[in-house]
Chain A
Amino acid sequence: MCLDLDPNIPIEDISQHEAQLVEIAKVLGNNPSILVMDEPTSALSREEVERLFAMIGDLKRRGIAIVYISHHLPEIFRIADRVTVMRDAKKIATRPIGEVTREEIVQMMVGKSVKEFYRRDARSIGDVRLRVRGLSRFGFFHGVDLEARRGEILGICGLSGAGRTELAKVLAGLDHADEGSIELDGKPVRGSTMAEFLEQGISYLTEDRKTEGLATRLAMDENVLSAIIDRLTRVAVYSKARGKPAVDRLIGELSIYPPDPSRTVGNLSGGNQQKVLLAKWLASEPKVLILDEPTRGVDIGAKITIHASIEKLAREGCSVLLISSDLPELVGLCDRVMIMRKGHFIREMQYSECSEESLLLAANGDTGRAACP
């Protein structure tokens, strides 16, 4: 797997994507004749995906049959020979890959025709809400300058290890910056804890919903209200009933299934769990919302709903920071994309400049400047 790691390191000390590679190596060690892979690339960077595909090609040549479960259409078109589409627990169709188009697959998956994968409704972009100057956290990122405007969706793109999540954690108040300043609506952000940042209007949706985002043993409504407990409290007395209208509204807005607020979150599907997590942060009515991989491991129907919700949030005046490894998502949603590499912002790209190829090149170091003659 070309992993440059000490074999004695405990799993919990390595990053999520490295852990996934270990998982894959473990399975391959059994010399299977049929291999079932369930969303194996959701936490991998492009280079790691390439390595995996090379391995898959190798396995195919050795005669191993592979069932590859994914909702990443580009991947499917690259490595699959036949594709089976399932929806609502039923098989819709099986086709040889050469006889079906991307749009047809999406249509079968979603059950309705999707003219454009991302609709772009007009959004007016206002003045600067979040101004970051010279922000550094030694060892993670340096000299970050950033401006996020009202109504804007600002993407942050980079390879794994570029420092995106570390930056997000500092902007959310979870970690301290060593240098630099953060200003919200013209005023410096006070305090040093996440609670204080949250109170001033900065919310952060974590990339790991199962252990950091949701309390999976608790009910949906308890999770949705978990970030706004103080707002529902009067004189130390907490009233869940006061939060019920918001919970019902968000369940409806995000089409969370089943629409039962007392349902234990651990029993929901991945897509619905992610919607509950998003609902929690929408309930905090943030001025700035930082999203870290908001559609990782999420089925396409939920993805569309979440994207629509993000756009609606931006339209209502929130500044959205979108950290994502999903290039089509960045291309489709963002007004601008900041490219992060090895702890620095190396480039800013406007919507018109963004395509999957250009983003990927930029993340790998292409600064868009012509080579010196």
Chain B
Amino acid sequence: MSDLRTVRTGSFSNIMSTAGVYGIAVLFLALGALLQATGAIGNFLSPQNMLNIVDAVALVGIVAVGMSFVTYSGHFADMSVPTTMGFTGYICIEMLRYGFLPALLVALVVGVLIGLLNGFVIGKFRANPIIWTLAVNYVTMGMIRLIWANKQIYPDMRGSGEKAIALFDAIYRLRFFHLIGLPLVMLVVLVIIGQFVLTRTSFGVKLKLTGSSLRAAKLSGIAVERGIMLSFVLCALTATIAGLAVTSLSRVGAWYNGAGYDFKAVTAIVIGGMTLAGGRGTILGVLGGSLIIGILNNIMTLVGIGTFSQDMVRGAIFIIVVGTNALSLRRLGRDDA
């Protein structure tokens, strides 16, 4: 009910909640430092480990920034992100023999098309976003299996030029000043652009209205379908970028490249202060949420918690954070159940 009880909306409360998210991130950092000091883990604060955290945060963050627009518009999340990531990775590797840039372009176009499909069906026919994007996820998975006959593909398998392969590798491995990877640069750029678009453009303001009350937005003369389509395109676009980065990292086209990113992105978005009901939150908050997730994952790995146990922890956090958010949604009468 916190939404209804809020007397003041506007930039001040947004700043406070964003600051709160970064406060929690700092707390987790402190937790890691504490664990290192007590000898429970080693090397948390080392430069290499910090870089690891940053690299992981960058990937989740890129996906989360795009998905934020979907959440902000009141359409919860895009569950087709994992296979969008995998599929566009496959396509890029497949097209590398025609050159790096053409491959890149085709992958981006495919991503945009997936986003357009989602945006059209959900915006025009008012399909349930979760159900529809889950369906698209499975269909895309089927397409991957069909087209590449269940095989993984490698960049050097298809007769691609040496230069193209090197450029593709560089997506993940290029380091500015030996430190800053391309994904991180992309994240920063996307956060800056995303924050600006969300808060200072007419598209962002109209999206806020759409997310707060679709009917009122429609009856204010706002083209809600166009805004919804654009948000799903943005989501698919960032998923494509992250998919290319992950595929570059693993150097193989595989269906599992994007696994788990829908989960991680939604958790980051909701922890970051963007409510599932829509119309509330900032991109900076989402970045903070991504930071928290990245730091937490890192600490768990250093402590030695096994993968499955980590999944349990991540799942528990997801249930708590997203679940309580959905509860307040229900009280607002918007749980879509």
Contact = CB atoms under 8 A, between A and B. Distances in A.
Nearest to B199: A238
Nearest to B206: A229
A274 to B, nearest CB: 14
Instruction: Bin the interface of chain A by size.
Output: 35 or more
Contacts of A236: 201-203
A219 interface: yes
B8 interface: yes
Nearest to B197: A236
Interface stretch (B77-85, B110-118, B210-218): B210-218
A305 interface: no
A240 B202 CA distance: 10
B9 A218 contact: yes
A230 B279 contact: no
Contacts of B205: 229, 238, 240
A194 B3 CA distance: 30
B243 interface: no
B106 to A, nearest CB: 28
A194 to B, nearest CB: 5
Among A197, A212, A217, A226, residue most surrounded by chain B Cβ atoms (within 10 Å):
A217
B47 interface: no
Taking residues whose C-beta sits less than 8 angstroms from the other chain, chain B's interface range is 20 to 34
A176 to B, nearest CB: 15
B4 A266 contact: yes
A262 B220 CA distance: 20
B46 interface: no
A45 interface: no
A199 B222 CA distance: 11
B64 to A, nearest CB: 23
A274 B120 CA distance: 34
Tell me what chain A mostly uses at the interface: helix, strand, loop, or mixed.
Answer: mixed
B202 A230 contact: yes
B200 A237 contact: yes
Contacts of A217: 3-4, 9, 212-213, 277, 279-280, 332
B97 interface: no
B63 interface: no
B157 interface: no
Interface in A233-251: 233, 236-238, 240
A238 B217 contact: no
B221 A264 contact: no
A230 B277 CA distance: 25
Contacts of B38: none
Given A238-B200, A238-B205, A215 B9 contact: no
Given A215-B209, A217-B279, A236-B201, A262 B219 contact: no
A336 interface: no
Nearest to A225: B205
Given A215-B213, A237-B201, A238-B201, A280 B4 contact: no
B8 A264 contact: yes
A227 to B, nearest CB: 5
Contacts of B6: 264
Contact of A211 (B203, B213, B277, B279): B213
A255 interface: no
Given A217-B279, A219-B9, A262-B8, A174 B213 contact: no
A215 B216 contact: yes
A22 to B, nearest CB: 18
A267 B279 CA distance: 17
B9 A264 contact: yes
Contacts of B213: 211, 214-218
Contact of A226 (B3, B215, B217): B217
B7 interface: yes
A263 interface: yes
B10 A262 contact: yes
Interface in A199-227: 199, 204, 206, 211-219, 222, 226-227
A212 B205 CA distance: 18
Interface of B: 3-4, 6-10, 200-206, 208-209, 212-213, 215-223, 277, 279-280, 332
Question: Which 4 residue pairs are nearest across A and B when measured between Cβ atoms?
Answer: A215-B212, A215-B213, A195-B221, A233-B202
